[in-house]
Amino acid sequence: MSIKNDLILRAARGEQVERTPVWLMRQAGRILPEYRAIRQKLSGFKELVETPELAAEVTMQPVTILKVDAAIIFSDILVVPEAMGLEYQMIEKKGPWFEKTIETQAEVDRLRIPDPKDELGYVLEAISIVKKELNSSIPLIGFAGAPWTIFSYMIEGQGSKTFSKAKKMLYSDPKLSHELLDKITASTIVYLKEQVKAGADLVQVFDSWAGILTQEQYAEFGMKYVSDICDAITEVPVTVFSRGAYNSRKEMSKLNCATIGLDWNMNVQESRRLIGPNKTLQGNLDPCALYGDFKAIELETKKMLSSFGPDRHIANLGHGVYPDTHPDKVKCFIETVKEFKHN
């Protein structure tokens, strides 16, 4: 069944579009009072992620309230390590916390490659519900964390400024690092394939901590595994968002994906030159631009759109929308994109 507003899918495939499509990373949640109202009734973040009807409801909120061109399933990248056997908690105002971390060969051996239908059925069910509710109006984006980013949390046990424990493992035991990355990659591939079967129309791979590795390390421990995922997911367009990986943009042109996400520090013209004409670019307004007044937001958004040009661009922020951003400012960004005409 064809999707009525398929702008994002056409832009990802490099086809002509009437206007630039737009959605936001982290659009489902945090900024919307409607989301907070649901959260207040629950024990915590994980209850929301693991309750398909509620995850579906908060996935739909930005579709109806913000009028974005795609929905993205409400979930978390850390559902994958949990499904592999490493449980996490989401601590209010602190972020993720793993009581156990991975340090030894035996611990890597004990991790399983999960069956997503069993271990992650709640995400797949949420996707099915959203798909029905969208009723072919706009596409639904599925997602997963990139292997290096997931590895970082599994070794470190929590967020970090340096991820020095995770990086230490790359230097001190590269063989074990590759074994763990292989397992994460295999788990991610089966998970994304099941998301597609459940109804995801495209998928995004988030490499949030790509920028803390050297170019050489990212090639060996990051990009290699992202590339494996891109090669395996052939059913729908894939977007790769490697935050901070400035030095790896030329290599990204070789990835078997449709779209490369740019963070707000990546110059658009330079990125286009490095990545080449055969990939769609996504991004890349600074999320802090949405703290400006409406006139300033319009100006910055138009500047961004002009720099990307009319072809092969999906408008987004250069990272997830910040939780204290006013929804009306987000609407201003979205409306400016929709009304913009390229000369």
State pLDDT tens for residues 146-171. 999 999 999 999 999 999 999 999 99
Model confidence at 179: pLDDT above 80: yes
pLDDT at 343: 81
- What domain range includes position 317? 7-339
Count CB neighbours of 146 within 10 A: 29
**pLDDT, tens digit (0-9, with 9 covering 90-100), for 295-337:** 999 999 999 999 999 999 999 999 999 999 999 999 999 999 9
The two structure tokens encoding residue 5: 């507003």
Report the SS3 class of residue 281.
Answer: strand
Rounded mean pLDDT of the chain?
Answer: 97
Dist. CA 58–CA 39, nearest whole Å: 10
pLDDT band at 30 (very low <50, low <70, confident <90, very high): confident
Say if 43 falls within a structural domain: yes
pLDDT number for residue 329: 98
Interval 193-252: pLDDT, tens: 999 999 999 999 999 999 999 999 999 999 999 999 999 999 999 999 999 999 999 999
Alpha helices in 13-104 (DSSP H): 33-40, 45-49, 52-65, 79-84
Q: Is the pLDDT of residue 1 over 80?
A: no
Q: Which residues are tagged catalytic?
A: 26, 30, 39, 76, 153
Does some domain include residue 2? no
CA dihedral defined by 58, 64, 69, 70, rounded to 10 degrees?
A: 20
pLDDT at 273 over 80: yes
Prediction pTM value: 0.98
- Note the pLDDT of residue 93: 83
- 64-68 mean pLDDT: 97
CATH number of the domain within which 146 lies: 3.20.20.210
Place 71 in a pLDDT band, splitting at 50, 70 and 90: very high
Is residue 186 a part of any domain in this protein?
Answer: yes
Task: Please report whether residue 26 resides in a domain.
Answer: yes
Q: Report the SS3 class of residue 115.
A: coil
Q: Is residue 163 one of the residues assigned to a domain?
A: yes
Inform me whether the pLDDT recorded for 90 exceeds 90.
yes
As a whole number, mean pLDDT of residues 92-119 equals: 96
Cα separations in angstroms, 252 against 203, 230, 249, 258, 298: 17, 11, 5, 11, 30
Surface-to-core class of residue 280, CB atoms within 10 Å of its CB (0-12 exposed, 13-18 middle, 19+ buried): buried
In the prediction, which pLDDT does 187 show?
98
- Three-class secondary structure of residue 33 per DSSP: helix
Domain count, the chain: 1
Q: Is residue 1 part of a domain?
A: no
